[in-house]
Amino acid sequence: MAKPKQTIVSPAKQARTGSDKSKGRADSDSPANVVRGAGGELHQQATGDQVRLTTNNGTVVSDDHNSLKAGPRGPVLLEDFVLREKLFHFDHERIPERVVHARGLAAHGFFELTDSLAKHTTAAILGETGVRTPVFVRFSTVAGNRGSADLARDVRGFAVKMYTSEGNWDIVGNNIPVFFIQDAIKFPDLAHAVKEEPDRGFPQAQSAHDTFWDWIAMTPEAMHMVMWQMSDRTIPRSMRMMQGFGVHTFRLIDAEGLSTFVKFHWTPKLGVQSVVWDEAVKINGADPDFHRRDLYNAIEAGDFPEWDLGVQLFSEAEADAFDFDHLDSTKVISEEVVPLRTIGRLVLDRNPTNVFSETEQVAFCTQNMPAGIDFSDDPLLHGRNFSYLDTQLKRLGSPNFHQLPINAPKCPFANMQRDGHMQMGLHPQRVTYTPSLLDPSGPREDPAKGFRSFAAPVEGPKLRQRSPTFADHYSQARQFFLSQTEPEQNHLVSALIFELSKVEALIVRAAMLGHLVNIDETLGERVAAGLGHDAPIVPAEPAVTTRTDLAAAPSLSILARFAPTLVGRKIGVLVTDGAEAALVADLMAAAKKAGATVEVIAPRVGGATLDDGARLAADHQLQGGPSVLFDTVVLAVSEAGVAALLNEAAAVAWVHDAFAHLKVIGASAAAEPLLAKAGVVADAGLVPLTDRAHVADYIKAAEAGRIWAREPSVRSVY
């Protein structure tokens, strides 16, 4: 009897088609309503085909999307064991690296208040101008582990610890003013979706995969954040050129107990700048530590990064008049609605002495704030207040993590907390409690100076419900997209095409297109064209109608808001033997005057001998210093030097990439053959340096930034 033909399926094909367990299905011998207990035993659930979601002790969960609150807009209740268990388990999933924000870099510095808010708050740090408060700032990616590359397309953490005279104040935010979710109970789901897929262990530090976009497609509240995530904001040129936001609404409390709502913004003095996507990919290959090297070297050179602290202040009545809910962390209050008031400056002037002791052991907690500042009823913020403290206990192994030097307050602190793992203090006192007749001199509360929560009235039934005021998921996403300049819109479209092209499940792609047309019909159609999606796009059903009357807000755009500059930027100069010494000297002098730094690249690591016989040392050998590492480039070459470079692939790629990445290129007359071989076409960004007088022309062109008009000629624009 002949054997039946056997079909051999490769492991890669199995993964694509979802055979066995690759798509998270139950064992083939187990029906969908059979689940395994902790010991591996099987249990039948009498719920038809749907497995019921339960807590770890088996209690069936009624709502996995909303925290228990006092009324739809009320505070989150401590009794919510579903929220606490979910966050508790998530916080302890990894040891010892941070579950998110593992890839971090940091620096010391100071904050100085320049405009007092004493009218609005009793907090000394916001009332006493001219005082320099020590700070420690940690920047990070979100999705990747400690070994991931710096230029992943990802949201960046921007966490500031201020060692104030009244206790530590942690502003733990991002480089984007909104977030993916409205309620902290959904954060473990977000992180699980964006992290590497558990059945294959990849991709690392990327959102371009099925599980992330599957979750996003089922979570309309994330659409505004997705627009920011797919924008150039998530591939920053430098941490020194990146905004930071507190994200949530907070309160300022004055001496009379009156409240003013506040949002916090960090704006870099160097302006905001991003790289282009192809550049980011190549930087990750050339220097995966690009951001941390940039920050470290700038501080070591004395080019201290600086940010303005700006606040948006508004009253309860003004908040009620907004056409969105300010307690919703997926919404932004644009500067066109509430102007930004600059009140201080943040300067980073010292690198960590030890990365582990400081950068890795620093513990940020959103609950850390001095009296005079308070929380709003943002449910995402309330969940973070629990989660961050719980996370530090797991990561640092002790309730005494606050005693580590990087975490300890720099003001006096005292309480009755004792012992515990890694206790570093000596407490000879007999009395470790209050009240006491034996020792009434111990630390006691101070009703006048102590932290007082704002006496906001709370009334409402205990329930799990999203406030109807949180229901508009598309209007601000549309406003953000329409607020971008044409190049920025093109980049956002390209990013969505790239990300969704990595999604194998066509149903997820189709669902995302349904959301995108709700944001903007043209946006959805452009992404569909780039994906080759020819079927009709079925719009997602919105909870409320998307508004089309929101005016574009230039403050939401990088290019519309921040003027280009050479200050803090880097010029790469490719030099060969025989190059004109006077031209190189003039270029370096002009760059310094413009606030830029110059790094020399040569065919040999030893440098080049110029036409006056002087030896110019090189910072990089050609293959180790690709043009992606620089903001603008110059070819200071001789005829003999170019002749040798024409057969050097790295040299051709060096010039080609600079042109493709829209950079201004200064080129001596001898560079023409190399320009031609690299495919460079003359435009406003190609500045001939046929004599020394043209150096000023090059500097002026470079100060104007990238040549965006060149972009359609070097890459497809859908």
Catalytic residue numbers, as ranges: 101, 174
The SS3 of residue 341 is strand
Task: Tell me if 271 sits within 8 A of 564, measured CB to CB.
Answer: yes
Query: CA 598 to CA 572: how far, in whole Å?
Result: 6
The SS3 of residue 88 is helix
Contacts of 431 (CB under 8 A, 6+ apart): 438, 439, 442
Query: CA 576 to CA 597: how far, in whole Å?
Result: 19
Structure tokens at 562: 């921040």
Surface-to-core class of residue 375, CB atoms within 10 Å of its CB (0-12 exposed, 13-18 middle, 19+ buried): buried
Q: How many CB atoms lie within 10 A of CB 394?
A: 15
Q: What is the DSSP string of 255-319?
A: TTS-EEEEEEEEEETT---B--HHHHHHHHHH-TTHHHHHHHHHHHTT---EEEEEEEEE-HHHH
How far is residue 40 CA from its own chain's centroid?
40
Which pairing describes strands 632-636 and 570-575: parallel, antiparallel, or unpaired? parallel
Structure tokens at 453: 């929560």
Query: CA 72 to CA 75: how far, in whole Å?
Result: 9
Task: Tell me if 454 sits within 8 A of 251, measured CB to CB.
Answer: yes
Surface-to-core class of residue 624, CB atoms within 10 Å of its CB (0-12 exposed, 13-18 middle, 19+ buried): middle
Phi and psi (nearest 5°) for 82?
Answer: -65, -45
Contacts of 325 (CB under 8 A, 6+ apart): 73, 331, 467, 469, 470
Task: Tell me if 633 sits within 8 A of 659, measured CB to CB.
Answer: no
Element (H, E) at 140: strand 132-140
Task: Tell me if 633 sits within 8 A of 656, measured CB to CB.
Answer: no
User: Could you tell me which of 396, 487, 555 has the C-alpha nearest to residue 715?
Assistant: 487
Contacts of 505 (CB under 8 A, 6+ apart): 210, 214
Query: CA 317 to CA 315: how far, in whole Å?
Result: 5
For the chain, how many residues are written? Answer: 718
Contacts of 454 (CB under 8 A, 6+ apart): 251, 253, 257, 259, 374
User: Could you tell me which of 101, 119, 141, 160 has the C-alpha nearest to residue 307?
Assistant: 160
